[in-house]
Chain A
Amino acid sequence: MIKTVDVSKVYKGGTPAVNRVSMDIEKGEFVFVVGPSGSGKSTMIKMLNKEEEPTSGSIYVAGKNLASLPRWRVPYLRRNVGCVFQDFKLLPNKTVYENVGFALEVIGRPRTVVRRQVPQILELVGLGEKLDRFPDELSGGEQQRVSIARAFVNRPLILLADEPTGNLDPATSVGIMRLLDRINRTGTTVVMATHDHAIVDSMRRRVIELEGGNVVRDQSRGIYGVGT
């Protein structure tokens, strides 16, 4: 589903953020990418979505070589790759319903489908009562649920999550992880960058650890740190 070969990213005039990373993620896997700040987790996630271009190496997502994907095809790639961010990235002047509905409108789904599916998915994430709220009227955990609902509403093959619990308290984080786990059980491949030890340790999933842009560990059913 996701394959990277010797991927490096060097930002202008800096040390490499990602250094010759190769990884292979199967369909339906749940993978944690862990490591301290600056280890290259976010850069890695961004390259999978073609938000950033690698300096060298190649990336294949859902069978497509991203380097040879023309710019106008990028939106179509992103419809297969849902994204969840630390800062939620909800549209501030759209309601919860409209934020989630937007992901469907974008792919040209008719209104009737939007009207049926959006309340369904919001029910699933536990926000069935808050359709007409605006993002700034919601708590952080609720906003993250909206953003997950938006990422998942059109059933993407892959869900990328960049520190989705980074702004949330532990109790709320557990709820978010349950949600991501449920999504993963529907067959969606989930890649999540995090530095939250407790979460990684409790989930016991594959862990890829980055340090200074290098892969230092790739372990199935792993925990956050080997020595800790």
Chain B
Amino acid sequence: MKIGYFLSETITNLKRNLLMTVAAISTVAISLLLLGGVQILGMVVNNVTLSWEAKVEVSAYFRDDAQPNEIENITRDVQAMPEVEEVFFVSKEQAFEEYKKIYEDQPQFYENLPEDSLPASLRIKLTDAAYADQVKGAIDGAPGVDDVRDGGLVLRRLLQVNSLLRTITFAMSIILLVAAAALIANTIRLAIYARRDEIGIMKLVGATNWFIRIPFLFEGVFAAFVGAIIASLIVVGAQWAVFKNLGEQITFLGPVFSFSTGEIASVLGILFAVGCGIGLIGSGLALRRFLEA
């Protein structure tokens, strides 16, 4: 019976204070949208990093006179290293095939080369690009190894920039989180301030504080919830329309702009949690001032 009263009270108030309801909902939607946008940006940066990191490999080239057991030893040692994710052996023949494939259209590059002119090598995938130097140092100078190369300085510089970007997006999302919280809480406070006389009158009639509070809390959560729905729809819509299409049309962007359902769900989860949490806490705190005395 009481729940019925509180719900109908909430709905009536939302309708009769339509302007404030709209203001609160749009404030929540916009602040959450910004927050969600930064989250997506962070995911893009993360994907970029991952796809570049995947390209950081260490290649160990064998001398032509390397013994099979030397090759075997090194392969086994490298495989045992915790920093190493995967090791491929590329034989002289395979190397030549790959080379031929690269220059398919220009046979003059390989026609006159003997089939064994390229060295055999180990391609080593790392668990993290940061281990490149370490792994390189461990193999360099081993018997049978001619030369060790890694993905290159440029890539590593880019990864450094990327980790900076990651820090920045993280900081931004914290700042936007605080800003969203402040904005939502402020809007609610204004809405309640506009109705402070109402609260005073309710108290005079003998309403307990909880009786006054609950419809306001429901209103705050409702506005926040609707705002979060709007923000989520826009985030999902933008992800689908912009990123997915771009990713399909421009292939190298594909892995960067593809997010798993789980990732999207976690962003939406953050939006809803932040929105409703602040709606509830903001209303509660704003009410406290007017309920006292």
Contact = CB atoms under 8 A, between A and B. Distances in A.
Interface in B129-174: none
A148 interface: no
B75 to A, nearest CB: 77
Nearest to A153: B205
B109 to A, nearest CB: 83
B242 interface: no
Contact of A108 (B2, B200, B201, B202): B2
Contacts of A90: 201
Interface stretch (B37-45, B113-121, B175-183, B206-214): B206-214
Interface residues of A, number: 24
Interface string A62-104: 0000000000100111110001000001111100001000110
Given A91-B198, A93-B13, A93-B17, A103 B205 contact: yes
Interface string A40-53: 00000000010100
A6 interface: no
A108 B208 CA distance: 11
Contact of B206 (A72, A98, A107, A110): A107
A102 B205 contact: yes
Contacts of A93: 13, 16-17, 198
B1 interface: yes
B194 to A, nearest CB: 10
Contacts of B206: 75-79, 103, 106-107
Interface centre among A75, A83, A103, A107 (most CB of B within 10 A): A75
Contacts of A111: 1, 4-5
B1 A102 contact: no
Contact of B201 (A75, A76, A77, A89): A89
Majority-rule SS of B interface residues: helix
A110 B1 contact: yes
A120 to B, nearest CB: 18
Interface string A181-217: 0000000000000000000000000000000000000
B213 to A, nearest CB: 12
B197 to A, nearest CB: 8
B289 interface: no
A113 B196 CA distance: 29
Contacts of B3: none
B17 A75 contact: no
A20 B12 CA distance: 47
Nearest to B207: A106
Given A106-B211, A108-B2, A110-B1, A92 B198 contact: yes
A227 B53 CA distance: 100
Contacts of B16: 93
A145 interface: no
A92 B16 CA distance: 10
B250 interface: no
A150 B1 contact: no
A75 B16 CA distance: 26
B206 to A, nearest CB: 4
Contacts of B209: 72, 75
B289 to A, nearest CB: 15
A98 B20 CA distance: 21
A105 interface: yes
Contacts of A91: 198, 201-202
A49 B198 contact: no
A222 B17 CA distance: 48
B80 interface: no
A103 B204 CA distance: 10
Given A75-B207, A77-B206, 14 more contacts: A75-B203, A78-B206, A83-B205, A89-B200, A89-B204, A91-B198, A91-B201, A91-B202, A92-B197, A93-B17, A98-B12, A102-B205, A103-B206, A110-B1
The 6 residue pairs across chains A and B that have the minimum distance between CB atoms? A78-B206, A79-B206, A93-B16, A106-B207, A75-B208, A75-B206
30 contacts: A49-B204, A51-B204, A72-B209, A75-B206, A75-B209, A75-B211, A76-B206, A78-B203, A78-B204, A78-B205, A89-B197, A89-B200, A89-B201, A89-B204, A91-B202, A92-B198, A93-B16, A93-B17, A98-B12, A102-B202, A102-B207, A103-B205, A106-B202, A106-B206, A106-B207, A106-B208, A107-B206, A111-B1, A111-B4, A150-B205
